[in-house]
Structure 1
Amino acid sequence: MTGKIDARLSELGLTLPDAPMPAANYVPFVRVGDLLHVSGQVSQSGGALLTGKLGDGVSIEDGAEAARACALSLLAQVRAACGGDLDRLVRVVKLTGFVNSTANFTDQPKVINGASDLMVEILGDAGRHARSAVSAASLPMGVSVEIEGVFQVA
């Protein structure tokens, strides 16, 4: 059975990856009441890591694409946490985006907009969320972007 969110993903030509497994000693998500806290998802596409540093060879556009990839992995984790039923997602509450960037790079919000815009494109008003977009001197495995999220689920 395909739900509304799955239908919207299909309409947009998007496919969620398999929910990535943790790379260290943590769990991919924790549910507390109706809030689902999803661990940071690193930028990867088709199994390949999207690496590099913004302000040193990685464009804002490429960073935004990396953020979009993180958003898809976040939704894959939500689907896994909801037993495969993505329509149990009520809304995106908050995203925290980390951008691997140089000290003088100041466009972190433009990079993380890649994830924010995609959430709204897929979910409409339920995709609007609180957000932080911060710089990081480096990220795990040299990825360009990592994003964690809090979601309300039924």
Structure 2
Amino acid sequence: MTTIDQRLNALGVELPTPAAPLANYVPAVILGSQLIISGQLCLDASGKLGDAHRGKLGEAVSLEAGQAAARLCAINVLAQAKAALGGDLGRIKRCARLGGFINVVPTFASVPQVMNGASDFMVEVLGDLGRHARSTIGVAQLPLDCAVEVEAMFEIAAT
């Protein structure tokens, strides 16, 4: 069991079955020592979108629910990473970047605070290797009317 798996267990997080793509793309691409994960939605462990994570921040979704949604996205990012790496999360050397898309009303100003739900989770699981570069933007709409979507890039070790 890898250190990452041990930290997930300590947090009580079981990675779900990775979600299948919703359109014509792949969930992950490995380019040399980089693992790029397509945007992941805030689906729960059963693959469902909860009512608390549906809609816009600043309207139907609270800041706290948005942070929880971002955390779910990060969990789904790691589930995709595990699948892409043949089950071996120990190959992750560093989280290089997270990109966050937050479904917001035009006046919502706490977009970075929402994305902290994903960023904080990555640091919880990877320690200092989870500290990453980040972009976060507010958007008018996301697939399935999700509150949050997160994409990622990792540095990985060769097999």
Q: In angstroms, what is the RMSD of aligned CA positions? A: 0.8
Equivalent residue number for residue 6 of structure 2: 7
Aligned residue for 2:24, secondary structure, equals: coil
Equivalent residue number for residue 141 of structure 1: 144
How many angstroms does 1:106 deviate by? Answer: 1.1
Equivalent residue number for residue 129 of structure 2: 126
Structure 1 unaligned spans of 5+: none
Aligned residue for 1:39, secondary structure, equals: strand
How many angstroms does 1:44 deviate by? Answer: 1.0
Equivalent residue number for residue 29 of structure 2: 30
Aligned residue for 2:127, secondary structure, equals: helix
Q: Does 1:59 align with 2:58?
A: no
Q: Deviations over 1:44-81 (max 9, x none)?
A: 11322131110002111000000000000000111111
Equivalent residue number for residue 47 of structure 1: 47
TM-score by length of 1: 0.97
Structure 2 unaligned spans of 5+: none
Q: Which has the higher strand share?
A: 1
Whole-angstrom CA distance in 2 between matches of 1:19 and 1:91: 20
Aligned residue for 1:48, secondary structure, equals: coil
Aligned residue for 1:149, secondary structure, equals: strand
Letter in 2 for 1:101: V
Equivalent residue number for residue 104 of structure 2: 101
TM-score by length of 2: 0.94
Equivalent residue number for residue 153 of structure 2: 150
How many angstroms does 1:4 deviate by? Answer: 1.4
Q: Is the 8 A contact 2:98 2:134 kept in 1?
A: yes
Q: Percent identity?
A: 51
How many angstroms does 1:38 deviate by? Answer: 0.5
How many residues are treated as equivalent by the alignment?
153
